[in-house]
A and B are shown apart, each in its own frame.
Chain A
Amino acid sequence: GAVVSQHPSWVICKSGTSVKIECRSLDFQATTMFWYRQFPKQSLMLMATSNEGSKATYEQGVEKDKFLINHASLTLSTLTVTSAHPEDSSFYICSARESASGSLYYSGANVLTFGAGSRLTVL
């Protein structure tokens, strides 16, 4: 089945540094990837939609200069947290939707495949 890999799974960094998180679709091509943020014991909040070869679409309230998203290929999207601060500490999860042609855009068992998440701790 479809697999999405996130790396790193856990990262600790100093305040003011930048951190890059990778999201890879291992066995399928993903035109669209989504980045979510999850605070402890809370739901997933959609941050942005990443489309291959174009600029990401950010949700209201998400700082695009703070959270840089790049989707340079059909199998890789990256989220860079720039000048990280302790309040950026969170669990970041990506998901990927397999590219499809024709009218049946969604087929198969999975609509979206989620990565295992990346926990960011900013000291």
Chain B
Amino acid sequence: AQSVTQPDIHITVSEGASLELRCNYSYGATPYLFWYVQSPGQGLQLLLKYFSGDTLVQGIKGFEAEFKRSQSSFNLRKPSVHWSDAAEYFCAVASVLWSSASKIIFGSGTRLSIRP
């Protein structure tokens, strides 16, 4: 079964600094990978997704992520964070998409705080 690990529970970065949130997955075949953001008390918003093709994926709000098969990783990056980026970030994986039986499994999340 697929699984997702986000090793960092909480990260604090200064506003304007670069950001990298780590995500490692476990799955035998090519996974389908996602990053979601959740503001306090809110639902989830999709930042970006990787299905196939170019391993560097661009998302909304200036985020990008790189799929590295050799490292089983899909780290999220942003060159310069803004105070509004403070939120909880979830990495997620799905094993199969072309089926009504497919489902998305979430990592434990990384809480991002921004230092003024």
Contacts and interface: CB of A to CB of B under 8 A. Distances in A.
Interface in B39-68: 41-46, 49, 51
A4 B94 CA distance: 21
* Chain A interface extent, by class: 20 to 34
A23 to B, nearest CB: 11
Contact of A117 (B43, B94, B97, B107): B43
Interface of A: 4, 6, 31-32, 34, 36, 41-46, 49, 51, 91, 93, 95, 103, 105-106, 109-112, 114-117, 119
Interface of B: 32, 34, 36, 41-46, 49, 51, 90, 94, 97-101, 103-109, 111
Shortest 10 CB-CB contacts between residues of A and residues of B? A114-B43, A114-B44, A116-B43, A43-B108, A44-B106, A105-B98, A43-B106, A43-B109, A117-B43, A106-B97
